[in-house]
Amino acid sequence: MAGISVTLEGDNIQLAFQKGEQSTAVVMDPHAARSLVRAVSQLLAAIGETAEEGEDMPEEMVDVTSQTIDVGMDEHGMAVVALQAGMMPPFLLRLKDDEARHIAQSLLEILNSPRDVRVSHGDH
């Protein structure tokens, strides 16, 4: 059986495998790590594996209405969106500049379109 370890490397995540004398490590940014978790979850579901009781499996999409939303900057000058939504615990979403611009531009486009156009596109 191979040994697997997951550690932090600065702001990135390192996934290391060791079997016998051979070892391999992969360093991923948070986005790549989330994609890997989703992919592994989908593969487990495809082969019929389910989560143990009390074990959380990530979902593709959580549909909730936020009770509070705060927008600001963290200590490194990154845009931060703080949410408290539904029964979920509060969380922070840190955004790179291009991600924050994409979200802001997309929201402006939605808000600037007539309500009937929004509804015809699935209300988003």
- Tens of pLDDT along 27-56? 888 888 888 887 887 787 778 776 565 555
Same domain, 55 and 1: yes
Provide the whole-model pTM. 0.43
Q: How far is CA 63 from CA 3, 16, 59, 86, in A?
A: 36, 34, 10, 9
Same domain, 77 and 28: no
- Residues 32 and 50: beta-carbon distance below 8 Å: no
- Tens of pLDDT along 18-33? 887 888 888 888 888 8
Same domain, 7 and 57: yes
Q: Where are the alpha helices (DSSP H) in 1-124?
A: 30-46, 97-112, 115-120
Structural domain range at position 79? 64-124
Residue finishing a domain among 10, 44, 61: 61
Same domain, 86 and 109: yes
Same domain, 55 and 68: no
For the chain, the domain total comes to 2
Residue finishing a domain among 38, 61, 84: 61
Same domain, 47 and 98: no
Rounded CA-CA distance 56/58 in Å is 6
Average pLDDT, the chain: 76
